């Protein structure tokens, strides 16, 4: 952690100091744009030399992931910076007298302005399970540097400088469908290549779906290209890490095995029948900075542990795929312009066979003609109190310029602070195992391409992800490429919640110190404890309440296992 008294510590006679966390893509960019003196230096040394050469603009135009702190005593200046997609993170607290910065926001508790008090607005966002609107953390007074932001702190002034981020004004139009597909395929492969450039053995969370399967195929291709061997040796394998459950609803075994055989992967089955939420409670992982969690935490942890046993330093995930290809409002209008009325009518007829012509015309043709800003309206959880809703309605959307995007809802999801935050949360669980979980689908250039492209690349009638499906022809088995469904894991979550409701949920949630009070309606909490749960808001609301109270207990030093032994 860095700490400065602004009046006295920023200025001095020492040398420039640099602290950095960077991705392979950023390090490659740094090397490619370095002058002769900067080449072959360690990252901190190269950044220091680049800053001396270019000044405050030393990060301009760089698109890879980074979080950087720099102190220049000769200018009495400290700067904090973060990449445009938020791949890396840096937290800080700032007052008129002091500046503190740390990789993790919990480390700022006790610095000037950060007492450990909970930020109620941020807590309301957590219970609402909605997008984040600012860089506030759950610790009042502590913030994270925003993506694409540089903060420059001097003795008496604070300035901001904008860095490279996806351009929401950009509108891409290529000459033909085939050119879109070719360009997309190139960017997809590049995104995966960037994430495996520094490793020989890679794990992939493989479901047999449309996100993880092409990632695994491209990772296998990248390692083969690098080694020059069609069949990589034991030291440079791609290991497929696949969850296995006995429920028919979640059984993707045949698709996974087809991908493994087609791509030449190593397969590690991760048995998860006994990996439900909160089992065992005394070992349930809780992040020190946030209650945010997934009910499938043990699924992930078992996969990461197996990856570590197999010697994988990197695990690739298909995280963000639904966001990247979603919200394809106006696909029919884009399609008729680019590919003609005949193709468009074929797609509309497919929709009409499912839903009828009146609904098809309303949803696929008329609705997209309404103002794009309508898509940014949020429907808040019905269980929130009036005070929670008041806190949420004061917020501004993020990114601030999201309304100018070709598809504002897609841009809000793809560039969401919540997704960037989720990547940092996951690092807490992977780092002790020596694993770095990476998300190729959040690659800067891939995101820019799909944000700027016509909507018919994302959806055409009933067909989702059409550009992806066409690009990966031959990369994955046909049954995967044509897949329409997704596995559901609701049953294992519901079983876990039923057990919790029968045992310790009431003791936990009815505590007078519970965090949810004043933000969640008590009658909703009582219903979740005693009445049947509906899939959707009920399940989500109860999970968030449990996550919040387990976090509160953990912060207070109480062992979670005590909940199961009380009463």
The per-residue pLDDT for 236 is 62
| Residue located via tokens 């092409």 | 214
Tell me the C-alpha distance between 66 and 164, whole Å: 12
Residues of the chain with pLDDT > 90: what percent? 84
Global pTM reads 0.95
Tell me the C-alpha to C-alpha distance, in Å, between residue 3 and each of 7, 101, 140, 161, 198. Answer: 12, 7, 18, 22, 32
In this predicted structure, the answer to whether residue 120 has a pLDDT above a threshold of 60 is yes
Average pLDDT value for residue range 433-438:
96
Q: How far apart are CA 483 and CA 500, in angstroms?
A: 35
Considering only CA atoms, which of 191, 97, 181, 91 is closest in space to residue 144? 91
pLDDT at 168: 97
Q: Quick one: what percent of the chain has pLDDT higher than 70?
A: 97
If we measure between CA atoms, which residue out of 414, 445, 415, 407 comes closest to residue 328?
407
Give the pLDDT band (50/70/90) at residue 109. Answer: very high
Cβ contact 153:5 at 8 Å: no
Q: What is the pLDDT of residues 410-433, one digit of tens each?
A: 999 999 999 999 999 999 999 999
Is the pLDDT at 234 greater than 70? The verdict is no
Amino acid 312: pLDDT? 96
Helices 537-555 and 522-530: crossing angle, nearest 10°? 100
CA distance 73 to 12: 5
Q: Across the chain, what does the average pLDDT equal? A: 93
In this structure, of 16-20, 227-231, 382-386, 472-476, the range with the lowest mean pLDDT score is 227-231
In this predicted structure, the answer to whether residue 230 has a pLDDT above a threshold of 70 is no
Task: Report pLDDT digits (tens) over 273-332.
Answer: 999 999 899 999 999 999 999 999 999 999 999 999 999 999 999 999 999 998 898 999
Q: Which of 364, 337, 333, 340 is nearest to 350 (CA)?
A: 364
Split at pLDDT 50, 70, 90, the class of 564 is confident
The per-residue pLDDT for 247 is 73
Hey, how many other C-beta atoms are within 10 angstroms of the C-beta on 27? 18
Cβ count near 35 (within 10 Å): 10
Specify the pLDDT at position 272: 93
The closest of 347, 430, 389 to 518, measured between CA atoms, is 389
pLDDT band at residue 488, thresholds of 50, 70 and 90? confident
Return d(Cα 448, Cα 454) in angstroms, integer.
Answer: 12
Q: Please say if the pLDDT value at position 248 is more than 70.
A: no
C-beta separation of 217 from 204 below 8 A: no
Hey, what's the torsion of the CAs at 486, 492, 495, 501, to 10 degrees?
-90
Helix H or strand E segment including 217? helix 212-227
pLDDT at 240: 98
Strands, DSSP E only, in 369-509? Answer: 436-438, 459-460, 463-464
Q: Tokens in use for 178?
A: 């085939």
């Amino acid at each position: 952690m860095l700490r400065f008294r602004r009046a006295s510590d920023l200025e001095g006679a020492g040398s420039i100091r640099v602290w950095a966390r960077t991705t392979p893509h950023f390090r490659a960019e740094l090397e490619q744009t370095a002058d002769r003196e900067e080449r072959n230096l360690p990252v901190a040394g190269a950044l220091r030399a680049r800053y001396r050469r270019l000044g405050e603009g030393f990060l301009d135009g760089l698109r890879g992931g980074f979080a950087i702190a720099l102190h220049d005593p000769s200018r009495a200046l400290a700067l904090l910076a973060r990449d445009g997609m938020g791949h890396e993170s840096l937290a800080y607290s700032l007052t008129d007298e002091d500046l503190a910065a740390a990789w993790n926001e919990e480390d700022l508790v006790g610095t000037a302005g950060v007492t450990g008090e909970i930020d109620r607005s941020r807590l309301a966002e957590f219970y609402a399970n909605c997008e984040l609107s600012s860089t506030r953390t759950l610790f009042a007074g502590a913030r994270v540097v925003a993506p694409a932001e540089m903060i420059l702190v001097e003795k008496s002034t604070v300035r901001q400088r904008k860095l490279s981020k996806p351009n929401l004004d950009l509108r891409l139009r290529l000459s033909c469908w085939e050119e879109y597909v070719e360009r997309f395929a190139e960017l997809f492969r590049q995104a995966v290549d960037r994430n495996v450039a520094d490793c020989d053995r890679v794990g992939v969370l493989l479901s047999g779906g449309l996100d993880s399967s092409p990632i695994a195929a491209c990772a296998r291709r990248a390692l083969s290209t690098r080694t020059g061997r069609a069949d990589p040796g034991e030291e440079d394998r791609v290991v497929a890490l696949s969850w296995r459950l006995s429920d028919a609803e979640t059984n993707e075994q045949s698709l996974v095995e087809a991908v493994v055989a087609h791509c030449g992967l190593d397969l590690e089955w991760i048995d998860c029948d006994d990996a439900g939420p909160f089992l065992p409670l005394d070992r349930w992982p809780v992040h020190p900075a946030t209650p945010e969690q997934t009910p499938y935490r043990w699924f992930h942890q078992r996969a990461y542990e197996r990856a570590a046993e197999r010697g994988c330093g990197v695990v690739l995930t298909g995280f963000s795929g639904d966001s990247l290809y979603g919200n394809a409002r106006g696909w029919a209008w884009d399609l008729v312009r680019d590919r003609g009325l005949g193709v468009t009518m074929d797609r509309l007829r497919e929709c009409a066979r499912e839903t009828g012509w009146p609904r098809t015309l309303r949803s696929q043709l008329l609705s997209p003609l309404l103002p794009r800003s309508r898509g940014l309206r949020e429907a808040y959880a019905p269980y929130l109190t009036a005070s929670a809703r008041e806190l949420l309605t004061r917020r501004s959307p993020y990114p601030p310029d999201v309304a100018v995007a070709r598809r504002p809802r897609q841009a809000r999801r793809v560039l969401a602070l919540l997704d960037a935050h989720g990547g940092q949360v996951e690092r807490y669980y992977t780092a002790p195992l020596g694993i770095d979980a990476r998300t190729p689908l959040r690659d800067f250039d891939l995101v820019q391409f799909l944000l700027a492209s016509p909507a018919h690349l994302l959806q055409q009638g009933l067909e989702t992800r059409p550009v992806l499906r066409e690009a990966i022809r031959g990369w994955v088995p046909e049954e995967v490429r044509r897949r329409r469904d997704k596995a559901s894991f609701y049953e294992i979550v519901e079983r876990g919640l039923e057990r919790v409701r029968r045992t310790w949920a009431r003791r936990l949630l009815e505590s007078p110190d519970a965090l949810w009070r004043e933000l969640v309606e008590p009658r909703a909490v009582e219903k979740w404890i005693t009445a049947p749960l509906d899939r959707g808001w009920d399940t989500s609301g109860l999970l968030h309440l449990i996550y919040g109270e387990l976090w509160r207990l953990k912060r207070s030093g109480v062992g979670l296992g005590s909940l199961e032994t009380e009463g």
